[in-house]
Amino acid sequence: MWQRVIALLVLSAAVFLSAFVCTELSWQANLRSLGIVLGGTFMATLIAYPWSRFKELAAALRASFHQSVDHSRRYLDEIVRLARVSRLEGPRGLDVQARKAENGFLRLGLELVADGKGHLEVRDSLEKEYDLHFSRRESQINILQTMARLAPAFGLAGTLVGLINMFGRLDDPSQLGIGMSVALLTTFYGIMVANLLLLPLARKLKEFTRYEAAVMTLIMEGVLAIMDGEHPSAVDHRLSSVFINRRDSVLGLARDRAPERLREAEPTWRLAERWAGK
C-alpha cells in the first residue's frame, strides 16, 4: 500500500515539474509533442504485434495491479481440500469441484484427473498449457519493452522536426528560443514516457509473471499428487516443504524469463528453480 502511495506521489511530482517547465509553452506545442511520442510509439509497435496482443496486455496489467498479495497458501489449502474430496468422493467429486474452480489451470487439471487420464497425459497437457500461457506473457512483456525503446527514439524524431521548423524561421530571431524549447520538449516527453510509465509497467508484469509461474507450478504438483491418491496430510507436507517453506519462497521459483519446453523426467519444482536461473 505504502509503495503505491509513494510511487503516486513521485509520479505526481514529476508531472507537476514537467508542467512547471512547460508553462511558457502553448498547449498546442505540448499536445503536438505528446502526439509524436505516443502516436508514433503506438503505431510502430502495432506494426510488430497483432491487435489481440494489446488486448491481452491490457487484461494482464489489470490483473497484475489487482494481485497485491501472495495467495500461495490459499491455493495450497485448496489443493489439500481437493485431495480430501478425491479420496472421499472419487472422480465424480473432482468433476463437481472442477466446475467451481476459479483458476482455469486448476480447473483443467481437475477435469483431466476426473476424466481418468493417465499420469503422463495429465502432466503433458498441463505443461503444454503452462508453456502456452507464459509464451503469451513473454509477448506482452516484449510489447512494453519495445514501446519503452521506441518512445525516446520518437522523442528525438520530434526534436528534429522542431529544429527543422525553427531553422525555417531564422528571419524572426524572437521565435528561435520558443522553437528550440518545443524541439527539446519532445525528447523530454519521450524519456518521461519510457522511464516513468512503460518500463515500470514492464517490471510490474514481470513480477506478476513470476507469481503466476510459482502458483501454476504449485497447482501442477498438487494435481499430480491428487492423481497419485496421496493422503491430504501428505499432500500438505509435500507442497509446504517444496513451495512454502523453501528459502526463496513461492515467489522466487521463477524469475523474469518465460519457461522453456519442459522435460517429463524432471520434477516440476526443479524445473521452476532452473527457470529462476539457480
pLDDT tens-place string over residues 101-150: 888 899 999 999 888 888 889 999 999 999 999 999 999 999 999 999 99
User: Distance between terminal CA atoms of the chain?
Assistant: 31
pLDDT band at 58 (very low <50, low <70, confident <90, very high): very high
Question: Mean pLDDT lowest for which of 177-181, 206-210, 262-266?
Answer: 262-266
Average pLDDT over the chain reads 77
> 2-34, pLDDT tens digit by residue?
555 555 555 455 544 554 444 445 566 677 778
pLDDT band at 202 (very low <50, low <70, confident <90, very high): very high
Residue 126: predicted pLDDT: 92
Task: Report the interhelical angle of 199-227 vs 268-275 (nearest 10°).
Answer: 170
Nearest to 208 by CA among 133, 137, 132: 137
Alpha helices by DSSP H, 228-253: 232-239
Chain mean position to CA 56: 10
The C-alpha atoms of residue 267 and residue 253 are separated, in whole angstroms, by 13
Identity of the residue numbered 125? S
Q: What is the mean pLDDT of residues 202-228?
A: 90
Domain ranges of the chain: 26-275
Question: Mean pLDDT lowest for which of 27-36, 60-69, 105-114, 241-250?
Answer: 241-250
Contacts for 236 with CB less than 8 Å, ≥ 6 apart: 76, 80
Read off the pTM: 0.74
